[in-house]
Amino acid sequence: MKKILSLLTILAMLASCTPTPENVHQSNALPPIYPDYCDVTIPQNIAPLNFLLRADCEAIEVKAGDITINARGNEAVFDIDDWKALLQQSADKSIEVTVSALINGQWTAYKPFTWQVVSDKVDPYLTYRLIEPDYEIWNNVQIQQRCVENFDVNAIGHYEKLENRCMNCHTFANQNPQLSMMYVRGPGGGAILNKNGMLSKLNIPGSVYFGFSPTGRYITFSTQKIIPAFHSDPSKRLEVYDSESNVCVADMQEHRIFTSPLLSDSLKFETFPTFSPDGKYIYYCAADSVSLPRDIKQLQYSLVRIAFDEKTGTIGTQVDTLYHQRSVCHPRVSPDGKFILFTVADYGTFPIWHPEADLQMLNLQTGKIDTLGIVNSAKSDTYHSWSSNSRWFVFASKRDDGLYGKPYFCYIDKQGKAHKPFCLPQAHPLFYDNNLKSFNAPELGKGKVPFDVDDVAKAMKKESVNFK
């Protein structure tokens, strides 16, 4: 008992020894915090924005609303209960945050910043693939689902259970966790379809990028021959292009595949198809074919759409071009049908390594393009997914180091204005510094998927359902 008391006394003394600000020097600069959470807009249901100060400091004090953190070192980690209470009482208000740091024996108070808390919630689950940024060779790939309201993570695809296979392209229908699909590649692999937790393995030949129709009866997918190529200029690194690509539709009820000459034109590359939320259109990207890899810089994809009738399963006869100023990838329509968000790059179809790759948003009612200046960075910003309420989207950004993609969340207010995005918070502020995997293809979902890794492993052993 004596020993326990001594230990508690020592711990109490240590805690009380945490320095607190005195003789504070005021700085006009914003604190160099990482991730950059200065003046960001956050949803009411987000996990604590733990951060660190990029400075060699002995102690830190952070004041955010009623919360005060005094800690040794440079990390600010919030108690999750205090954080929840703070956000609860700050809905549709802003929280002022002040950061002070003890550096070389001198306390400095940085310029305060704000967190604008909005009551529009972001979908609580984020699904992503963790993979080395090179993508060519993988080992220990996982598809994880993270609850963004806290720090809970569970794997839905795990290398240990799936013979270290490549897994990719996990997508939900309308952000609904009860209807989703992911691919497990390699011999005996296939598309694992989740329907209310019942998993089946589908053999949809050549399918790469896909999206569900609103009812879930159809998926539209692209088939492509993907070629990796290398830039001799080290700053450009990897390029990937399709030597051929087409768009098709699969009827998930009748297990048949169909297309249209307009979606599989041999003189064009068609890719990244997605249904509009009302199911009346398939949006996709199309480019005139060029000689590759020689003329890669002339490879320009336009944003186009073609009508689709979900009742009869028929594809329209006319292709409308919506945007052709730069090369377009990954179009995604907001669930309310007002906006279409897409990536633009100087050329090609693989914006992940294009530092100039940015997100743009087309207002489908006014035809106005928003270049999303507040959202984009000097590095690649791409692969986005909408929240079911159309107020939030998540995207993968390489803004921090140019190499490793991280999920960033961006708020679109009722006026359609984008706010400064913020990075997915982590329990340990050092997580991203130590992490050597990219958060690839982040997808938002309204809930936790009703299956786990073992279910996927079992489904992999099933006979495939073949498509005609």
Partner 1 sequence: MKNLYYKYYPTAAIILSAIIIWCFFQFWYPYHFFFQEQNQIFLWSWDYITTYTDKSGGLARFVGDFLTQFYYYLFAGATILTVCLLIIACLLYKALINFKVSKPVALLLALFVMALAAICHFSTSYRLSGTISIMGWLILFWVVSIIRKKVLKLSALVCCLLPCYLLFGSPAIAKIQMPDFVIEKDFAVDCEYHFGHYDKVIQLVESQDRWTDQMVFFYNLAQAQRGQLPDHLLRFTPTQLGTFYQIGPETPMLIIRNMNELYWALGDMTFTERAAMMTNVFSHNNRNVRMMQRLAECNYVSGDSLAAEKYLRILDKTFVYARWADNVRQNGKTIYQQKMQMVNRHDTISITDNAHLLMMQLLDANPNNTIALDYILCSTLVLKDIASFKRDYDRYCIDTNNPRLKTLYQEALCIWLAGTNAPQQEWEKYIKRGDVFQRFQQYNLQRGNANFKDTYWYYFDKIKAPEI
Q: Which residues bind partner 1 (CB under 8 A)?
A: 132-134, 136-140, 227-239, 293, 296, 379, 400-404, 428-431, 433-434, 436-437
**In the complex with partner 1, which residue's Cβ is closer, 338 or 437?**
437
Closest contact distance (angstroms) between CB of 426 and partner 1 is 8
312 HSE (CA, 13 A, CB side): 6
How far apart are the C-alpha atoms of 178 and 465, rounded to whole Å?
19
Q: Which is nearer to partner 1, 134 or 413 (CB)?
A: 134
In angstroms, give the least distance from the CB of 393 to partner 1: 25
Closest distance of CB 242 from partner 1, Å:
13
Give the residue with the Cβ less far from partner 1, 385 or 426.
Answer: 426
Total residues found in the chain within this entry: 468
From the list 111, 166, 87, the residue with the least C-alpha distance to 425 is 87
Structure tokens at 320: 């409308």
130, β-bridge pairs: 142, 439
Measured from the CB atom, is 437 or 448 closer to partner 1? 437
Closest distance to partner 1 from the beta carbon of 268 (Å): 21
CA triplet 325, 329, 331: central angle to 5 degrees? 100
Q: Are 218 and 251 in contact (CB under 8 A)?
A: yes
Q: CA-to-CA distance for 43 and 36, rounded, in angstroms?
A: 16
Nearer to partner 1, 137 or 267 (CB): 137
- What value does the CA radius of gyration of the chain take, rounded to a whole number of Å? 24
Nearest residue (CB) to partner 1, 160 versus 254: 160
Q: Do the bridges between strand 339-345 and strand 207-212 make them parallel or antiparallel, or are there none, so unpaired?
A: unpaired
* Cβ(191)–Cβ(181) below 8 Å: yes
CB of 313 to partner 1, least distance (A): 38
Instruction: Decide whether 231 or 458 has the Cβ nearer to partner 1.
Output: 231
Q: Kindly state the smallest distance separating residue 198's Cβ from partner 1, in Å.
A: 30
Q: How far is the CB of 312 from partner 1 (least distance, A)?
A: 42
Paired sense of beta strands 51-53 and 33-34, if any: antiparallel
Q: Could you say which DSSP state residue 49 is in?
A: -
Distance of alpha carbon 93 from alpha carbon 83, whole angstroms: 15
Give the residue from 206, 202, 214 showing the smallest Cα distance to 252: 202
For partner 1, which is the closer residue by CB, 138 or 383?
A: 138
Minimum distance of partner 1 from residue 134's CB (angstroms): 4
Residue number, 84 or 399, with CB nearest to partner 1: 399
Other C-beta atoms lying within 10 Å of the C-beta of residue 431? 16
Task: Give the tokens for residue 286.
Answer: 């199309």
Report, in Å, the least distance between residue 233 CB and partner 1.
Answer: 4
With residue 10 as reference, give the H or E element that holds it.
helix 2-16
Burial of residue 28 (CB within 10 Å: 0-12, 13-18, 19+) is: exposed
